[in-house]
A and B are shown apart, each in its own frame.
Chain A
Amino acid sequence: MDGNTLRGHLDLILLSSLKHEPLYGVAIITQVNERTGGYFTFKEGTLYPALHRLEKAGLITGEFHPAPHGGPPRKYYTLTEQGRSELARKQKDWQAFSQAMRPFGGEV
């Protein structure tokens, strides 16, 4: 997977992964990996700066909760209302872009 491609869509991927439930870092990595059949694999350390950036922008909020089976507490991220609107906007942008690019993508 080309790193630039992943970087270009990172916010959409992260916001989308939190659409239905709050998740913590490892769970986000696992979910994204499973949903894309392994196409997107994070360099794991880069995930946290991205999550902190979205948190600082008010698109997600993070809160520590005890881990159910012991170990250090996990930081769960939740999509805010602003984040939900941003996700909808990004999804719309993506749909418009992929629609516009279809004629140039060649036969599959």
Chain B
Amino acid sequence: MNDAEQFIRRATRGLWGKRRVEAQGELRSHIYERTQYHLQLGSNEQDALTRTLRDLGDPRAVHLGLLRIHSLPLLMTLALMGAVVTGVVSTLVQAKPIVIQGGSHFVQDGRHQFERVDGVYVRLSDLKAALPRTAHLTRIQIGLAVYLPGMVRPITLLNMVGSILQQGSNAENPLVNLTDLTRELSQTGVVVDVGGWERPTIRLGAVELDLDPGTNRAVVAELYGTELLSRTQSWSASSGALLWRIGPRDIGVRHTLALKARPGEVFALLVPQKVEKMNSSFGGVLNYGIGAAGADGSVTFTLPAFARRIHVTGDLQALERAVAALNQGPADSALAEMYPAVVIRLTGKLNSTDKRPMPMNVDLRSTVP
């Protein structure tokens, strides 16, 4: 076997079937083309091949790259990585409990006025302590630069009201909005997974953040809300901007729906609402509640008090029509008797390739608040 075939075999070891044949064919074609190029420049055959293989680099690097893409079981991949770079894995994967803070925070803006913001926050120092040494979180003038293992590029969380809260003398250790952070991270290729309803564990690439067991449901629901936002953004050009949540999360009208779901599965219930917008005009938006299925498969959602009577449907367009009607009506208009509502299944994976809203095919015309 010549050097080229030896390289190809080493680079594709562990791949099977069609994937192996295709990867070998592609590398064979590459080696042939580059060898021809060096021959044309005047190299002899052996030199041309040597230069080509040198430019391709270490076959183990190609091998690991291809294995990671082609779904070799994680355990085998880690074992192989360990054989090449001993100790890297142990610095990448590290799980420490982390306390996150939900609810309201008061921040002082530039005009010395206090403003209330709601959200899920974590202290920068806690976040740094929970992350492995290979992660980088750096305060910069315009905000916070973040790099985690698995990201293809770093992100910057800008100093905007609500994203990074600097309180008094604590500017060096501000509160970081975890919802904003996870939303940004989910755009970078790093896997972001809320984990589950009962025992949420935020997974950021190779890093797992164990949330404090006392974390309240509203905080977990807020993180699932990030997924809901991304799904409604892909639903239509306008509806993403229409997703608003107004008022406290646990006050309102409760609806329990018999969805026959598996215990722990998480869902959102969306209803249209008329609100005053920033430019003082009135228009329709979508409000929502998030809940998880109990042991009997039913799910309880909390919606704003106006949504006492809802008509649950699997028709997303019914919601859009209702929002459009609210946009066109007078300031005090409301939907007549029944508010159309749609149930959307959530997965907790914030950067899933499947961004469809995933409405449940339910038609529950009578629900008891």
Q: Which residue of A lies closest to B36 (CB)?
A: A71
Q: Are B55 and A57 in contact (CB under 8 A)?
A: no
Q: Are B65 and A48 in contact (CB under 8 A)?
A: yes
The contact of A48 among B26, B32, B142, B152, by CB within 8 Å, is: B26
A49 interface residue (CB < 8 Å to B): yes
A21 interface residue (CB < 8 Å to B): no
Q: Are B29 and A48 in contact (CB under 8 A)?
A: no
Q: Are B153 and A8 in contact (CB under 8 A)?
A: yes
- Chain B residues in 8 Å Cβ range of A10: 152
Instruction: Name the residue in B26, B56, B68, B141 with the highest tally of chain A Cβ atoms < 10 Å from its Cβ.
Output: B26
The contact of A75 among B29, B36, B66, by CB within 8 Å, is: B29
Q: Are A49 and B57 in contact (CB under 8 A)?
A: no
The contact of B56 among A11, A45, A73, by CB within 8 Å, is: A45
Number of A-B contacts (CB under 8 A): 86
CB 8 Å contact bits of A65-77 with B (1 = contact, 0 = none): 0010001111100
**A53-B69, A100-B142 given; A64·B25 CB < 8 A:** yes
Q: Total interface residues on B, using CB and 8 Å?
A: 34
Q: Total interface residues on A, using CB and 8 Å?
A: 32
Chain B 28-52 interface residues, beta-carbon cutoff 8 Å to A: 28-30, 32-34, 36
Q: Are A71 and B33 in contact (CB under 8 A)?
A: yes
- Chain B residues in 8 Å Cβ range of A7: 152-153
- Chain A residues in 8 Å Cβ range of B32: 71-72
Q: Are B152 and A11 in contact (CB under 8 A)?
A: yes
The contact of B29 among A45, A58, A73, by CB within 8 Å, is: A73
State the majority secondary structure of interface residues on B: helix
The contact of A45 among B28, B59, B353, by CB within 8 Å, is: B59
CA separation between A71 and B36, bound complex, in Å? 10
- Chain B residues in 8 Å Cβ range of A49: 62, 65-66, 68-69
Q: Which residue of A lies closest to B154 (CB)?
A: A8
- Chain B residues in 8 Å Cβ range of A72: 25, 28-29, 32
Q: Are B152 and A25 in contact (CB under 8 A)?
A: no
A interface with B by C-beta (< 8 Å): 7-11, 24-26, 43-46, 48-50, 52-53, 56-58, 62, 64, 67, 71-75, 93, 97, 100, 104
10 contacts between A and B (CB under 8 A): A7-B152, A44-B30, A44-B55, A46-B57, A48-B23, A49-B68, A50-B65, A62-B22, A67-B29, A71-B33
